[in-house]
Amino acid sequence: MSMAASRTIPLDRPEQIDLAQAARYLGARGEPDPATLALLERCASPLLAAAEPRAVYLRAERGQLEALWQGVDIQRHLAGCPEAVLMAMTLGPGVDAQIRRAGIGDVAAQAATDALASTLAEQVCDQAEAKLRALAQGEGLYLTGRYSPGYGDWPIQVQPRIAALLDSARRIGLYVTDTFLMLPRKSVTAVLGLSDVPVTGKRAGCAHCALREKCEYRKRGVTCES
pLDDT for res 31: 87
Residue 207 or 214, more confident: 214
Which tens digit of pLDDT belongs to each residue from 132-185? 999 999 999 999 999 999 999 999 999 999 999 999 999 999 999 999 999 999
**What integer is the mean pLDDT of 44-73?**
97
Confidence bin at 37 (pLDDT 50/70/90)? very high
Q: Which of 101, 108, 64 is nearest to 84 (CA)?
A: 64
pLDDT for res 188: 98
CB-based contacts of 170: which residues, under 8 Å, 6+ apart? none
Give percent of the chain above pLDDT 70.
88
The answer to whether residue 58 is domain-embedded is yes
The answer to whether residue 92 is domain-embedded is yes
pTM above 0.85, yes or no: yes
Q: Phi and psi at residue 195, in whole multiples of 5°?
A: -145, 160
- C-alpha to C-alpha distances, 157 to 19, 71, 162, 217, nearest whole angstrom: 33, 12, 10, 22
The answer to whether residue 8 is domain-embedded is no
Q: Is 56:168 a contact under the CB 8 Å cutoff?
A: yes
The answer to whether residue 134 is domain-embedded is yes
- Gap between the Cα atoms of 142 and 182, Å rounded: 29
**What integer is the mean pLDDT of 57-82?**
96
pLDDT for res 226: 45
**What integer is the mean pLDDT of 186-209?**
81
The answer to whether residue 139 is domain-embedded is yes
Residue 187 or 2, more confident: 187
Sign of CA pseudo-dihedral 88, 144, 30, 27: negative
The answer to whether residue 226 is domain-embedded is no
- We report the CATH number of the domain holding residue 150 as 3.40.109.40
| Residue range of the domain that includes 41 | 16-218
Is the pLDDT assigned to residue 220 strictly greater than 70? no
- Supply the mean pLDDT for the chain: 91
The answer to whether residue 193 is domain-embedded is yes
Confidence bin at 30 (pLDDT 50/70/90)? confident
As for how many domains the chain has, the answer is: 1
